[in-house]
């Protein structure tokens, strides 16, 4: 059997979602490890005032492509952008481009999706399900297609505790849902969404489950592979450790914690955070393109995130609101207590301070958004799932020793503390564009915040003393009783230690 690199040599690959987090890493790895790949056709739409061409040229200048650029300054010639808006009929690909793709594509990687947890159902359905259907129709017209690889999510079936490498029956027949929603206005759809998604937490996991079913329906006509990554995080090794470019999932949590805004979060300390580095997912994806398999796995418990604070203090973010701290608890009431004490109270004081300085209060607004975002993650951080990953082991056993190194997806070799440290540095460097040379100043800022906290706590104690203790005879009595008890205990301790000496 040909090695993975040999397999991709001379092949034309179609990638959707190539401008996204995972898509970019996939493009880079293909160019790096399979330099003889013939062409990468990427479906791109114009966005935010930029044309398709401007977006692609901007993407290729990204630091992520440094090693590819160095090895082959003409690498961009292998990337062929195709204008496409996935939410439009026929994916709005021109007839000429359809012809071109039908004639040459050998492998399709379908990464595009909306991954927002608060996406209105109609839009999530349009992009995650209907666009997948359209792409499958296009795939059927491709004369030389060898594999159609669909990127799903490990949480498509998160309403189950144990998840096997099978496609479960969909919550509803996608065709019927699409037909019904067509005539409903957005208000009605919004009202019935909770009933429709049932025991899934959001429209994202619901529509990804429907998409898997839609892909499976074509298994007799196409050679399909479905990958179910769990929580995709910064890169482990490639192209360099810590590459990340978004605020999704853990990245947003790390940044908010690093900035000292997020200090408490609901999570089950005994559960496993199913974090998986993006380069591992991409290596697996390429191996799956070459063979056929399913999902990824990892073993990093939530309680291990208590060490995150040390990483964040070693590599502090600039202008933190407070020093990083993490209370991770599964208890709703304890979490609410910490939200009050650690989030809302400081925000209130800071907003008061801003008002006194004649500025617009903003901290409470930031915290409200943060609570909305964290609330959406809670479902995933408070539970534990068990995934079957036999196909991964099977796939690994099929690789040549060289491929096992070049397309490594064996996370058992991963040193998690080192990975989390690089992840934190990655969010600082690549998401926030902060300079590492500013770390001494950021550390100095954290020391200032610590001194402010000590001063504030001292003033608070003095205040409480004045208000409650000094004014009430009963409080005074309790206070003297406690102080007396402490003295007695100290004298007893001193006496007993003298005796033993
Ligand atoms: C106390 C510390 C404890 C530390 C414990 C550590 C625990 C480990 C973490 C484990 C977390 C568990 C995570 C589970 C995730 C499950 C993942 C399932 C896997 C998947 O299949 S899909 C990928 C996951 N998808 C997402 O994560 C998307 C979630 N995001 C959204 O749905 C929306 O962004 C959200 C949160 C609803 C916000 O919407 P909105 O208010 O409309 O804001 P925008 O998205 O438009 O963004 C505006 C602006 O804000 C930036 N932003 C977004 N999110 C964050 C954030 N969390 N923190 C900071 N900033 C954020 C965004 O980039 C935009 O900036 P612009 O400059 O572009 O305007
Ligand atoms: N990130 C994660 O933690 C996980 C992700 N996944 C899956 O991996 C895949 C990739 O995720 P990720 O890279 O993180 O997501 P991103 O949000 O970073 O990327 C999404 C991609 O889809 C494209 N896209 C979205 N809407 C349209 C549209 N209307 N027309 C054309 N293109 C569109 C985006 O293009 P544009 O740049 O134009 O917006 C972008 O390239 C998804 O299928 C997701 O479900 C699975 C598990 C975890």
The tens-digit pLDDT sequence of the chain (501 residues) is: 788 999 999 999 999 999 999 999 999 999 999 999 999 999 999 999 999 999 999 999 999 999 999 999 999 999 999 999 999 999 999 999 999 999 999 999 999 999 999 999 999 999 999 999 999 999 999 999 999 999 999 999 999 999 988 899 999 999 999 999 999 999 999 999 999 999 999 999 999 999 999 999 998 899 999 999 999 999 999 999 999 999 998 999 999 999 999 999 998 888 888 899 999 999 999 999 988 533 344 445 566 677 789 999 999 999 999 999 988 899 999 999 999 999 999 999 999 999 999 999 999 999 999 999 999 999 999 888 988 888 888 888 889 999 999 999 988 888 888 999 999 999 999 999 999 999 999 999 999 999 999 998 899 888 887 787 777 888 788 878 888 888 888 888 676 655 554
Ranges of H-type helices in 315-438? 332-338, 345-356, 363-381, 390-398, 401-406, 416-426
How many whole angstroms separate alpha carbon 73 and alpha carbon 90? 34
Alpha carbon of 252 to ligand 1 centroid (Å): 5
Domain spans of the chain, in order of start? 4-243+273-303+385-414, 441-500
Mutate which of 17, 40, 116 for ligand 2? The one with the most ligand atoms within 8 Å of its CB, which is 17
Alpha carbon dihedral 56, 13, 387, 304, in 10-degree steps, equals: -40
Contact 13/41 with Cβ under 8 angstroms? Answer: yes
CATH topology of domain 4-243+273-303+385-414: Rossmann fold (3.40.50)
How many whole angstroms separate alpha carbon 267 and alpha carbon 331? 8
**What Å distances lie between residue 381 and 4, 270, 286, 300, 431, CA to CA?**
35, 10, 29, 12, 23
What is the b/e burial string over 145-182, where b = at least 16 CB atoms within 10 angstroms of the residue's CB? bebbbbbbbbbbbbbeeebebebeebbbebeebbeebe
Mutate which of 22, 123, 248, 256 for ligand 1? The one with the most ligand atoms within 8 Å of its CB, which is 248
Q: Closest residue (by CA) to atom 30 of ligand 1? A: 116
Contact 174/134 with Cβ under 8 angstroms? Answer: no
Q: Closest residue (by CA) to atom 38 of ligand 2? A: 45
Residues within a 6 A CB radius of ligand 1: 115-118, 153, 155, 231, 247-250, 252-253, 255-257, 262-265, 267, 273, 305, 308, 326, 328, 369, 373, 376-377, 380-381
How many helices, marked H, and strands, marked E, lie in the chain? 21, 14
Q: Closest residue (by CA) to atom 22 of ligand 1? A: 115
Beta strand 300-301 pairing with 79-83: unpaired
Q: Closest residue (by CA) to atom 51 of ligand 1? A: 247
Alpha carbon of 265 to ligand 1 centroid (Å): 14
**What Å distances lie between residue 103 and 38, 150, 318, CA to CA?**
14, 21, 52
How many whole angstroms separate alpha carbon 205 and alpha carbon 133? 17
CB atoms within 10 A of CB 141: 13
pTM, two decimal places? 0.86
């Amino acid at each position: 059997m040909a090695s993975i690199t040999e397999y991709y040599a001379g092949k034309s690959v179609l990638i959707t979602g190539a401008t996204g987090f995972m898509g970019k890493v996939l493009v880079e790895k293909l160019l790096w490890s399979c330099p003889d790949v013939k062409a990468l056709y990427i479906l791109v739409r114009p966005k935010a005032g930029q044309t398709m061409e401007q977006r692609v040229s901007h993407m290729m200048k990204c630091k992520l492509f440094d090693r590819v650029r160095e090895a082959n300054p003409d690498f961009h010639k292998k990337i062929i952008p195709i204008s496409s808006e996935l939410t439009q009929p026929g994916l709005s690909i021109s007839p000429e481009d359809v012809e071109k793709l039908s004639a040459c594509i050998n492998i399709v990687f379908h990464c595009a999706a909306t991954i927002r947890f608060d996406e209105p159902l109609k839009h999530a359905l349009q992009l995650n399900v209907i666009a997948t259907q359209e792409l499958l129709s296009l795939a059927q017209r491709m004369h030389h297609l060898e594999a159609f690889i669909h990127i799903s999510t490990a949480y498509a079936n998160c309403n189950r505790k144990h998840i096997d490498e099978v496609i479960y029956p969909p919550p509803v027949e996608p065709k019927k849902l699409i037909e019904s929603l067509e005539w409903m206005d957005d208000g009605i759809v919004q009202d019935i969404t909770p009933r429709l998604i049932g025991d899934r937490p959001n429209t994202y996991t619901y529509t990804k489950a429907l998409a898997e079913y839609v892909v499976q329906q074509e298994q007799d006509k196409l050679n399909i592979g479905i990958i179910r990554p769990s929580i995709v995080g910064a890169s482990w090794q490639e192209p360099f450790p810590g590459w990340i470019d978004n605020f999704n999932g853990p990245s947003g949590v790390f940044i908010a914690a690093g900035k000292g805004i997020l200090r408490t979060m609901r999570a089950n300390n005994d559960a496993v955070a199913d974090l998986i580095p993006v380069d591992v997912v991409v290596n697996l994806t390429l191996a799956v393109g070459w063979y056929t398999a399913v999902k990824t796995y990892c073993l990093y418990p939530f309680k291990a995130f208590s060490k995150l604070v040390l990483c964040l203090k070693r590599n502090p973010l600039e202008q933190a609101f407070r020093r990083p701290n993490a209370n991770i608890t599964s208890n709703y009431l304890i979490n609410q207590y910490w939200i009050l004490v650690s989030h809302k109270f400081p925000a209130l004081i800071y907003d008061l301070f801003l008002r006194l300085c004649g500025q617009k209060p903003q901290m409470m607004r930031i915290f409200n958004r943060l609570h909305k975002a964290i609330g959406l993650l809670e479902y995933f951080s408070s539970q534990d799932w068990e995934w079957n990953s036999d196909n991964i082991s099977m796939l690994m056993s099929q690789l040549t020793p060289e491929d096992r190194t070049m397309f490594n997806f064996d996370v058992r070799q991963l040193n998690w503390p080192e990975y989390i440290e690089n992840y934190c540095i990655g969010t600082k460097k690549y998401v926030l564009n902060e300079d590492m040379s500013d770390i001494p100043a950021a550390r100095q800022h954290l020391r200032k915040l610590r001194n402010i906290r000590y001063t504030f706590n001292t003033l608070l104690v003095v205040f409480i003393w004045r208000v409650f203790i000094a004014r009430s005879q009963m409080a005074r009595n309790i206070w003297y009783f406690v102080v007396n008890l402490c003295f007695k205990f100290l004298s007893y301790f001193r006496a007993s230690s003298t005796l033993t000496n």
